[in-house]
Structure 1
Amino acid sequence: MKNILHVFRHDLRRATSNVMAVIVLFGLVVIPSLFTWFNVIASWNPFENTKNLTVAVANTDEGYQSDLVPIRLNVGEQVLSALRANNDLNWVITSEDEAIDGTKSGEYYAAIVLPPTFSADMMTFYSNGSEHTKIEYYTNEKKNALAPKITEQGAGEVSTSINEVFTEKLSEVALNIITSLSGYLDDADTQATLSRLQARVSGVAAQLRAASTTADMFTSLIASSRPLVDSASGLVSTSGDALQDATGALGTGKDAAQSLKDVLTSTTVALGDARSGTADSYQAVADSVDDVFSSMNAQSASSADALGAAATRVQTQIDQHQQLRDTLVNDVRPLLPESAVDSFDRAVSRIDASIARQQDLHDRLDHAATHITDTDADVQAMHAEITGLIANAKASVDDAQSAYTGSLQPKLDALAETLSVIGGDVDSIGSDLSSVAESLSGSDSLTTALEHAESLTTDISSTLTETADRFDALANALTKAMDTGDLSELTEVIGADPQALATHLAEPVSLKRVPVYSVVSFGAAMTPLYTVLALWVGALLISVSIRVDPPQGAASDLPVLTPTQTYLGRFGIFALVGFLQSSLVCLGSVLFTQVQPEHPFLLILTGWVMSLVFTLIVYTFVVTFGNAGKALAVLMLVVQISTSGGAYPLQVLPQWFQNISPFLPATHAVNAMRSAIAGIYQNDFWVSLGLLAAFALPALLLGLVLRLPLIGFNQKLLRALASTKLM
């Protein structure tokens, strides 16, 4: 450290002990400031002087006169009048040939020619097949690079001005016609014209009110639709729950149907078995009864036993049918729908009738067993009665089974099929509800759209109503004017100054510009770029004027130094001159050119960091690569002029420029100085300043470490160049 300070003091003493050295150092300090100040002042506000750019305007408009309104209009003349009062450019009114020839010769920067049909095209824009009015614009792009862009902007302003003049004059002519009606009210043709005008105005008012009513209807429709959309999610959820309940109920119904089918199957089998068993049993009973009555005279006691056995067999049949009847009533009937209950009850009544018939047979057989010893005539009558009862019992059993299989069972089978079809329908409904749920998944965005539409239709309705009111007032004023000749109400509607109303109609909206991080002028906005260029050029001038290798040994009062001591010690004078350069540049920007920075001290601080980093980079290049390092520093300067974003936004530059911009120190230097001049957003100034200072690290790495292997090569290269006596 002692040797490094010794080198710095030695350089400072040598720099101030010689008049020529002081003059050179003074020039090194002042030249960057002159570069920055002159460029900032030259570009301070160049757009204020655009009025010196000469633009020719030629009007060949032949004018227009409508068959409806016998007033001749020349919009081109109105445009020329407006341009004469416009000081944005130096407008020269001339002929078409002179305008075009003057643009070619360079006398005019540009020329604008209004065509002969200009007014006719403007005033018949509403006709079928009409086209946009075209004006011819000639520009001399050879004369200057920026002037065509400025004059083109002026041509755009002319186009805007023409549109405004057209709207204003069209409205003014129409309103002047109404204002001038007082002089023509006594004329019959005027009265007829006023009548037509009043009818047309009233019709327009009615149409506007109808349109307003329609808009109100849409507003009400949209308002009533919003709750429906808001409840869509709940509806889908409720439908899903209902579907699950229906599916559960269907499952229960299917289980019930299966249970019913099983019971009916067993019932059918039981009825079939009962019928078959009854037929066989009753046939056996009939045979037994016949045998008993044929032999009862010989064997009365055994005949009584045989009749008792037959009664027992009949009782067994009665018990089986009663059990079957109970099963149907207790197990089957609760599962049936209302439509099948009547048929079921009729089938059960047939079974009840069969049981009653069999019970009668049973009772009669018991009676016969106890009266077997009666007279022959009574016995034969009893025999005939029992035989009839047996036949009736068999018939009643057959009738019960026919009522079941012929009437009830088909309806129960149809019920099972219906349940199956309902199951398929419920599955289909579930699929439909899923589709509906998906379609309503964006209900939030739909609700927002409906709210916006409701607001829009409300505004439309209000605007239409207000316009209709004005047309009604105009119609009333016209009616009064026709009846009384008094135009006072009409004047109140139009206003005392039709031209003012026409101007308002032509320009209903005014633009208010609100600057964010404003700067005092265009030159102040360009100060960061000019400062970056000046300090980088200043660092190059220092490396050209001051040696990077201090003399050592016996020929000097300096001791033998290491490469590190030589590098750091000699950089001291470079850093000092760079500090003086940046201080003078930034103080001049604050006090001399009056850029009016938001943060003056931060502007000066940015200049100090900028000069330190730039000087270190250029010094390291020259120390490491010799004259090739100076060329490398110039190359970096050329690249940084465009890629730093100091003049043009990076987004409008080629992609390659945008990609390398973050890796160049000038980019962050420009950003930091802009924040100091216009204002800081959050911590953008300190971030940019930190990124700028970070470029000192690779420069130090190159100068202290990577440079050492190249020292011998550079010395040989310098000796070879010196031997040429040219370099």
Structure 2
Amino acid sequence: MKHIWRIFSKDWKNITKNWVALILIGGLIILPSLYAWFNIKASWDPYSQTDQLPVAVVNEDTGATVRSTEIDVGNDIVEKLEENASFDWHMSEREDAMDKLRYGDYYAVIVIPENFSNRLGTVISDQPKKSEIEYYVNEKINAIAPKITEKGASVLVDQIASSFISEVNGTVAEIFNNLGMELENDLPDIKRFEDYVFKLEENLPEIHGLISDAYSDSKSAASIINDVQSLIPEAERTTDQGLETIDQTTAFINDAEKRLNELSPKVKEDLKTAQQTAEDVNAFLQDIQSINLNLSTVSEIKDGINERTSRSIQELENVEQILEQVKEQQQDNETDPDQNNEENSTVSQEAIDQALADIQTIKESLQTVQNDSNQIDSLLTEKQEEIDQTLSSLEEKSGQTAGRIDAFLKEYNEDIEPAVLEEVNKAEQTLNNARSILSEVQSTIPEVESILNNTEGNITEGQDILEYMLNEYPYINDKVNQMADRIRDIQGDADINDIIELLKNDPGAEQSFFEEPVKLNKNSLFPIDNYGTGLTPFYTVLSLWVGALLLVSLLSTDPVQMRGYRTYEQYFGKLATFVSIGVLQALVVTLGNLFVLHIGIAESVPFVLFGIGISFVFMTIVYTLVSVFGDVGKAGAIVMLVLQIAGSGGTYPVALLPEFFQMIHPFLPFSYAVDLMREAVGGIVGTRVERDLLFLAIFAAVFLGIGAFLKGPLQKGTNQLMKKSRESGLFH
């Protein structure tokens, strides 16, 4: 122990006595801290300086029209970027921007394509298309800048998406709110619709039956229409024949009327003649009553009576014949079914029949006179008195006959002829009406035929529709039943009033919600002020290892005078010198972090103490490697530095490191040293501190053991190796 102290104290005496050595040692004490300070300051808060990174924005968006509303999202983005200080934004044209990106004037270029707004507007269509933003970066300029600009571009996309989602959902929320209010207003109609569906479900079998019946009836109707269509030619022929018959009948009536008008004077004349004849007979009988009759006279009388009665009978028969013709014509013309016409015709026929009966009576009277005159011869010889009576009777009968003829003539003039003419006129009017009706029917037949053809087409079309409905009935039946079941399920699962309350909302609040549906409340268990503070543990630990390397590179690891000292005394004596300088290095870097850089350290005293302890462990490791293995040890210390920079997790999480570095991570002193300093910077967790101190102590113990027990056995070989390397003239 005495010898160890002697070596240590001698080294410090030499340092203090030699001002050059003092300056060099001072430089070795301060230099490692500069390495840490510069790196920490350079990494202090790089993301707060991104506003100095030039990034070009090319807006080629031509806008779009969505539901009669003009939108230009590209222009909106440009306006927002002009107010954004995240980067040094440059609004440029594509060609100029790409040239400057190629030459390194811009770190990145963001291009908003011409269809940007148009594609965003497709969100309301059946096939929405995503909008794209083109991002160009020159990665050879800097390793970190592309990542920063890419993050900025991603943030820009996220902001656009958030704003777009906010607007869309705000609109949707407003629609839902309006829908909820409309549903509330239409709630009675909805209830009625539910009842309609249930009623439809209940009546579907009856509807099916009605459709089936209608389909059957349509087939029957089609058959009936076909039958009617087949009768149309017959109707046309019958109508034509009816018109022809009416025309013929009218012509016949006109002819009969003409003949009646022609015969009427003759009838009157014959009646007058018959009347005159009867009067002549009466006068003749009056004349012969006072005459004494003899056979010759009687014969003359008889001949005169027969001549006159025969002429009267002939005239009456002519009248009777004419009346018979009129009666036949009247009967032939009874074609009008109208009741009044029938009654008038009956009256006319009764008058003619009465006239015929009267004429018959007159004829019979005249024939009686004629017969009685024939009896004169036989009566003449028998009874003169009876002859006289007979003549008186003849006179009386001839007078009555003359009166009857006179009455009949008067009846003919006043009743029969007017009645017959009136009936003829009525028959003519009836025939004219019938002809008008038949003409109208005849003109209507084409229209009826057209209607029947159209009706036949409509029935055919209706049959197709009914047949389609019958075929579709199973599908409709299933869907209506499904709808009814679905309504019942909904009624069981939720109340329509609850749905209305769910739809009704505050559109503004909904829009704000979807703009930021999840708000991140950051709760830092161990808050770190900035990026530089977060890197302080790593760079502080790194500076202590670098400080150890500088010492072993410039200072000798063996005493100047080695005789009289054992190898372990030489080892521990020089180790004390190196460790003491390392402690000074640790004090400078840790206190400088606190008071020069003003880093926010959660636990300042432990931070300094941990730095001293880590310096002791690092110095022990580096010194032992060089003291025991010489130049090989120096190379080993450098290799360990390289591996520990990458594998300690000082900058990137261990989980993100390649598998090799994850494997060696637990065996690196840096891993525990960086973690121990993080505890002091952020806040101490006792168990982690204990673990880190334990593993660092193990590293120190292992290398102290190597130095104490292997320096002597390996010293001869190490010295020869160093001598051989110096002989090359390349190593000192």
TM class by shorter chain equals 0.5 to 0.7
Partner of 2:567: 563
AA paired with 2:139?
E
- Please give the secondary structure, in 1, of the residue aligned with 2:123: coil
Q: How does 1:148-547 map to 2 (within 5 A)?
A: 148-170=146-168, 468-469=500-501, 502-503=511-512, 505-547=514-556
CA distance in 1, matches of 2:553, 2:516: 62
* Corresponding residue number in structure 1 for 2:325: none
Tell me the TM-score normalised to structure 2 length: 0.55
For the structure 1 residues 144 and 120, does the alpha-carbon distance in structure 2 shift closer, same or farther, using more than 3 Å as the test? same
Query: CA 1:621 to 1:39, structure 2 compared with 1: closer, same or farther past 3 Å?
Result: same
SS in 2 for 1:72: strand
Quote the Cα distance in structure 1 between the aligned partners of 2:696 and 2:719.
Answer: 32
Task: Output the CA distance in 1 between the equivalents of 2:554 and 2:669.
Answer: 23
Aligned to 2:77: 79
Alignment partner of 1:690 is 2:694: yes
Q: Tell me how far apart the structure 2 counterparts of residues 680 and 667 of structure 1 sit (CA, whole Å).
A: 17
Cα distance in 1 between the residues matched to 2:568 and 2:542: 29
Deviations 1:631-653 (A, max 9, x none): 11111111111011100111111
Counterpart check, 1:707 vs 2:711: yes
Counterpart of 2:662 (choices 640, 652, 658) is 658
The alpha carbon displacement at 1:132 in A equals: 1.6
Letter in 1 for 2:77: V
| Residues 548 and 582 in structure 2, CA contact (< 8 A), matched pair in contact too | yes
Task: Give the C-alpha shift of residue 175 in structure 1.
Answer: 9.9
Aligned-pair CA distance for 1:502: 4.6
1:27-176 equivalences in 2 (<5 Å)? 27-66=27-66, 69-170=67-168
How far residue 691 of structure 1 moved from its aligned partner, in angstroms, is: 0.8
Q: What is the CA distance between 1:97 and its match in structure 2?
A: 2.9
Residues 565 and 96 of structure 1: CA distance in aligned 2, closer, same or farther (over 3 Å): same
1:623 counterpart residue number: 627
**Structure 2 CA distance for aligned equivalents of residues 673 and 466 of structure 1:** 59
1:720 deviates by 3.0
Measured against aligned partners, the alpha-carbon deviations of 1:329-367 in whole angstroms (never above 9, x if no partner) come to xxxxxxxxxxxxxxxxxxxxxxxxxxxxxxxxxxxxxxx
Distance 1:7 1:470, change over 3 A: closer
Counterpart residue identity of residue 521, structure 1? N
- For 1:541 and 1:471, the matched residues in 2 are separated by 73
Other-structure match for 2:680: 676
- What residue number does 1:614 align with? 618
Q: Is the 8 A contact 1:202 1:471 kept in 2?
A: no
CA contact (8 A) 1:55 1:91 kept: yes
Q: Give the C-alpha shift of residue 526 in structure 1.
A: 0.5
Q: State the number of aligned residues.
A: 432
The separation in 2 between residues aligned to 1:30 and 1:205, in whole angstroms, is 88
Partner of 1:432: none
Change (3 A) 1:96 1:177: farther
- CA 1:203–1:114 in structure 2 vs 1: closer, same or farther (change >3 Å)? farther
| Cα pair 2:7 2:574 within 8 Å, conserved | yes
Identify if the C-alpha distance between structure 1 residues 71 and 174 changes in structure 2 by more than 3 Å, giving closer, same or farther.
Answer: farther
**Aligned counterparts of 2:511 and 2:187: Cα–Cα separation in 1:** 20
Q: What is aligned with 2:229?
A: none
* 1:24 aligned partner: 24
Distance 1:699 1:197, change over 3 A: closer
Q: State the match for 1:256 in structure 2.
A: none
Distance 1:574 1:472, change over 3 A: closer
Structure 1 residue 31: deviation in Å? 0.3
Q: Deviations over 1:459-518 (max 9, x none)?
A: x979x9777337569xxxxxxxxxxxxxxxxxxx76xxx7x8755553344322222211
User: Is the Cα–Cα contact under 8 Å of residues 176 and 503 in structure 2 kept in the other structure?
Assistant: no
**Cα distance, 1:39–1:636 mapped onto 2, change above 3 Å:** same
Relative distance call for 1:200 and 1:79 in structure 2 (3 A) is: farther
CA distance in 1, matches of 2:8, 2:520: 60
Amino acid at match of 2:142: N
Residues 114 and 135 of structure 1 are in contact (CA less than 8 Å); yes or no, is this contact kept in structure 2?
yes
Letter in 1 for 2:8: F
TM-superposed deviation, 1:552: 2.5
Greater mean alpha carbon deviation, residues 92-101 or residues 82-91: 92-101
Offset from partner CA, 1:60-88 (integer Å, 9 cap, x none): 2222223xx42211122222222222211
Q: CA 1:530–1:79 in 2, change beyond 3 Å: closer, same or farther?
A: same
Q: 1:552/1:119 Cα in 2 relative to 1: closer, same or farther (>3 Å)?
A: closer
What secondary structure, in the 3-state scheme, does the structure 2 residue paired with 1:58 have?
A: strand
After superposition, give the CA deviation of every residue in 1:110-145 in whole Å (9 maximum; x if it has no partner): 122222222221122242233222221111111111
Tell me if structure 2 keeps the 8 A contact 1:75–1:166.
Answer: no
Contact 1:33–1:585 under 8 Å retained in 2 = yes
Say which SS state the counterpart of residue 587 (structure 2) adopts: helix
Q: Gaps spanning 5+ residues in structure 1: where?
A: 180-193, 211-456, 474-492, 554-558
Task: Identify the residue that residue 582 of structure 1 maps to in structure 2.
Answer: 586
Letter in 2 for 1:469: E
Q: Distance in 1 between matches of 2:504 and 2:664?
A: 67
Deviation at 1:714, TM superposition (A): 2.1
Indicate conservation of the 8 Å contact 1:137/1:155, yes or no. Answer: yes
SS at match of 2:48: helix
- CA shift for structure 1 position 596: 1.8
CA contact (8 A) 1:140 1:148 kept: yes
Q: For structure 2, list consecutive stretches of 5 or more residues without a partner in the other structure.
A: 194-489
Which amino acid in 1 is paired with 2:59? Answer: N
Note the alpha carbon deviations across 1:609-656, whole angstroms, 9 max, x for none: 111111111111111111221111111111111011100111111111
Quote the Cα distance in structure 2 between the aligned partners of 1:23 and 1:632: 28
Q: Aligned pair in 2 of structure 1 residues 663, 507: CA closer, same or farther (>3 Å)?
A: closer
CA distance, structure 2, for counterparts of residue 684 and residue 571 of structure 1: 29
RMSD of aligned alpha carbons: 3.3
The TM-score normalised by the length of structure 1 is: 0.55
CA distance in 2, matches of 1:25, 1:514: 45
Matched, 1:594 2:598: yes
SS at match of 1:707: helix
CA distance in 1, matches of 2:180, 2:687: 66
Identity %: 35
Contact 2:101/2:108 (<8 A) preserved: yes
1:24 Cα offset (Å): 0.8
The one-letter amino acid paired with 2:654 is L
Distance (Å, rounded) in 1 between the aligned partners of 2:504 and 2:601: 58
Assess if the C-alpha contact under 8 Å between 2:628 and 2:711 holds in 1: yes
* Whole-angstrom CA distance in 2 between matches of 1:593 and 1:160: 36
Counterpart code for 1:139: V
Q: 1:17 to 1:123 in 2, by over 3 A?
A: same
Change (3 A) 1:132 1:693: same
